[in-house]
């Protein structure tokens, strides 16, 4: 069973909604449970999801909660808050494990161990949808046809490997537009880093051979390739083709440099992920190393959310099930701790990968040394994290004091705009939390208002605020409606269905108010400073605007038009002083006099960093938009004009502007342009 779906034919077990609580709820459900594998969910009085678990036998596993005593403080607290339960029966325990991981990752229950800071890893893609395949960095869904290699722990690791592919295999990295319009080799060819298939300096057949060699290198055949290149170099020298021998020599050097830089790799560790956990002060760090093709493709650290009482092995096991929910599984997984049900987890990962997967905790040898190295990195990373957390809490407390907030802010949104003389106008939003920048929540806004005067900063800010807070309005309405929606009766006396479908609404997100006669209180982890319980987690505790009184006034007018009350949002504008020196910033708040902070105030330094990060994000979005516009070609907008025909048209007429002035008869003189296509091109420019 795919972990993103429920079993093909799940058996849903309904239960009656009763005013029972805690152990009584569990015992009431226990009478109707089968001795079969499945997944169970526990909810509180507001239908907030407390816990998701899997079981080889639902009856036995849930029955363990009904026993008095023997529970940790966290489990005892979870049981006491339970007001209802839901169940899904699966065909096997393996399917239950996959479904459990998927639900935990989607719904993030309060009492589960949660993988935080999850992200998609960058890969290297060697495309196969072009006559001269391109090697490029790729992140996200695999929609393009080609060979994907990864994961890499960071964009830097990808860049270093792409650099190797350029030096050793001379693959192009340019875009298709640049490739189609080249009339002579670029600088990379002059530097010996590209074979220049764009201008025919290498035949497409020979270039395909280079692509195949690069793919073999990425699959771990570097030693064999180096031996083959050495043989070819000796043969070229014997044939007195010294230029070719020199090029082969340079490629061999590039491969040798890569192998030398990978000296920390065990010789027989070709494809493996290494995970080591270190726990201290109730927090944990999981350090991950990724080995592919016999090379270390980088490392990254994770900080899963869990209870202080959780053991390191159980945290590591929960981390693994969620980590591989949407990532490729290697042949070998090395762990710093022995985990419970390692065989079951291996079976689940084999089901997903379609091949054998081995999970080991090495006790000796080179693999043990790699795990120890990962453990050392985990310990040092957690030490840095703990130090940063303490410092961050103090800074947020200072921000709270500066702006008179009820409590330290948990979500800060910062806004900035970027343009050059009104062109390529872009707005940017960044989000900061107690854990640092939440880059998955960053947003950029392409300014769309056609009536906006070029360079109107106030108008740009109004559009950004209107779009952002209109969306927040809808999120708030949906969130409040979900909390007020009672469970749908299904059979029996008001029972809740246990099935979870991919297209349906997760049951853990539908908490009704006032259930079981209790007070309708907000979730303790969801409550915000001075906020209603009906406000979603995306509601900002502080809105920081890069600008002065004018920008603040524009924002206030916009959110008032949307129906927000004066005190709903904490608005602050930050502007540099007359000399625009850092440290002389002025802060503007509604109905308050502007003020400055002392130069050494830690809150000032933190707010400056937030402002600078928003500026960096907005500038980056503007530059990307400007670069895209600079490299765009009007011919790209015409259906039927691909890379080869565009190249032929540009060779024939010299520029897109000249193509736009050509007659239908002239257009047909370009290679590959039929009368129908020529008419289409002519009509396109006439309409323009």
Residue 386 dihedral angles phi and psi, to the nearest 5°: -65, -40
Q: pLDDT per residue over 424-453, tens digit each?
A: 788 899 999 988 888 888 998 988 877 777
Kindly give the pairing relationship between strand 11-13 and strand 84-89. antiparallel
Q: CA-CA distance, 306 to 385, in Å (whole number)?
A: 15
Kindly give the pairing relationship between strand 423-433 and strand 295-302. unpaired
Q: What is the mean pLDDT of residues 459-474?
A: 91
Write the CA distances from 528 to 430, 460, 548, 615, integer angstroms.
19, 29, 27, 27
Which residue from 393, 401, 382, 403 is spatially nearest to 286, judged by alpha carbons? 382
Q: What is the mean pLDDT of residues 385-402?
A: 85
Q: Are 469 and 562 in contact (CB under 8 A)?
A: yes
What's the chain's average pLDDT?
79
What pLDDT was estimated at residue 200? 85
Residue 152 region, left (φ>0) first, then alpha (ψ -120 to 50), else beta? beta
Percent of the chain predicted with pLDDT > 70: 84
Prediction pTM value: 0.57
Q: CA-CA distance, 130 to 367, in Å (whole number)?
A: 41
Domains of the chain plus CATH, in order, are 11-107 (3.40.1440.10), 123-261 (no CATH), 272-386 (3.30.420.10), 412-495+526-614 (3.30.420.340), 634-687 (1.10.150.20)
Checking if the pLDDT of 276 tops 90, the result is yes
Per-residue burial over 259-270, b if 16 or more Cβ lie within 10 Å, else e, is eeeeeebbeebb
**Can you list the alpha helix ranges (DSSP code H) found in 485-578?**
549-561
Q: pLDDT per residue over 168-226, tens digit each?
A: 788 888 888 888 888 888 888 888 888 888 888 888 888 888 888 888 887 777 777 77
């Amino acid at each position: 069973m795919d972990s993103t779906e429920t079993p093909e034919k799940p058996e849903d077990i309904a239960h009656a909604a009763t005013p029972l609580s805690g152990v009584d709820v569990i015992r009431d459900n226990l009478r109707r449970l089968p001795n079969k594998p499945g997944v169970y969910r526990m909810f509180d009085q507001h239908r907030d999801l407390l816990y998701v678990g899997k079981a080889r036998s639902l009856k036995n596993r849930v029955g363990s909660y009904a026993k008095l005593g023997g529970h940790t403080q966290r489990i005892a607290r979870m049981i006491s808050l339970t007001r209802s339960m839901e169940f899904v029966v699966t065909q096997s325990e393996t399917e239950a494990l996959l479904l459990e991981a998927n639900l935990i990752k989607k719904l993030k229950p309060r009492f589960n161990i949660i993988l935080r800071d999850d992200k998609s890893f960058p890969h290297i893609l060697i495309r196969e949808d072009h006559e001269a395949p391109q090697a490029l960095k790729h992140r996200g869904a695999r929609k393009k046809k080609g060979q994907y290699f990864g994961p890499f722990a960071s964009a830097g690791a990808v860049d270093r490997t792409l650099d190797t592919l350029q030096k050793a295999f001379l693959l192009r990295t340019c875009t298709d537009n640049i490739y189609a319009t080249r009339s002579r080799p670029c600088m990379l060819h002059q530097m010996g880093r590209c074979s220049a298939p764009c201008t025919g300096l290498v035949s497409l057949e020979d270039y395909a051979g280079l692509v195949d060699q690069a793919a073999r290198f990425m699959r771990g055949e570097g030693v064999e390739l180096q031996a083959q290149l050495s043989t070819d170099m000796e043969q070229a020298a014997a044939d007195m083709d010294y230029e070719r021998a020199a090029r082969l020599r340079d490629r061999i050097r590039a491969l040798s440099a890569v192998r030398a830089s990978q000296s920390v790799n065990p010789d027989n560790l070709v494809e493996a992920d290494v995970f080591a956990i270190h726990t201290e002060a109730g927090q944990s760090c999981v350090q991950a190393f990724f080995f592919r093709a016999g090379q270390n493709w980088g490392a990254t650290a994770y900080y899963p959310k869990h209870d202080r009482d959780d053991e390191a092995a159980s945290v590591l096991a929960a981390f693994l099930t969620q980590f591989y929910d949407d990532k490729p599984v290697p042949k070998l997984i090395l762990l710093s701790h022995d985990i419970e049900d390692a065989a079951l987890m291996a079976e689940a990962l084999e089901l997903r990968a379609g091949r054998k997967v081995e999970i080991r905790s090495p006790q000796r040898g080179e693999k043990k040394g790699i795990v120890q190295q990962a453990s050392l990195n985990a310990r040092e990373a957690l030490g840095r994290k703990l130090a940063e957390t303490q410092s961050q809490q103090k800074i947020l407390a200072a921000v709270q004091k500066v702006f008179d907030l009820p409590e330290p802010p948990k979500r800060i949104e910062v806004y900035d705009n970027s343009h050059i003389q009104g062109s390529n106008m872009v707005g940017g939003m960044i989000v900061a939390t107690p854990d640092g920048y939440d880059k998955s929540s960053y947003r950029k806004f392409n300014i769309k208002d056609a009536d906006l005067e070029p360079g109107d900063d106030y108008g740009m800010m109004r559009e950004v605020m209107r779009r952002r807070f209109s969306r927040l309005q809808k999120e708030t309405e949906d969130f409040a409606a979900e909390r007020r929606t009672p469970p749908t009766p299904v059979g029996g006396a008001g029972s809740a269905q246990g099935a979870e479908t991919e297209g349906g609404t997760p049951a853990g997100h539908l908490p009704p108010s006032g259930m079981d006669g209790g007070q309708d209180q907000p979730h303790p982890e969801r409550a915000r400073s001075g906020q209603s319980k009906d406000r979603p987690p995306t509601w900002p505790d502080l809105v920081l605007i890069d600008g002065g009184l004018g920008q603040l006034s524009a924002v206030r007018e916009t959110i008032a038009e949307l129906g927000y009350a004066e005190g709903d949002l904490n608005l602050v504008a930050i502007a540099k002083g007359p000399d625009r020196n850092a440290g002389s910033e002025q802060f503007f708040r509604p109905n308050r006099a502007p003020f400055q902070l002392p130069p050494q105030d830690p809150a000032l330094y933190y707010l400056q960093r937030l402002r600078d990060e928003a500026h960096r994000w907005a500038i980056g979005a503007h530059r990307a938009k400007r670069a895209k516009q600079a490299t765009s070609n009007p011919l790209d907008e015409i259906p039927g004009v691909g890379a080869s025909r565009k190249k032929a048209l540009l060779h024939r007429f010299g520029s897109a502007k000249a193509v736009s002035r050509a007659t239908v008869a002239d257009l047909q003189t370009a290679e590959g342009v039929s009368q129908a296509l020529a008419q289409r091109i002519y009509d396109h420019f006439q309409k323009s």
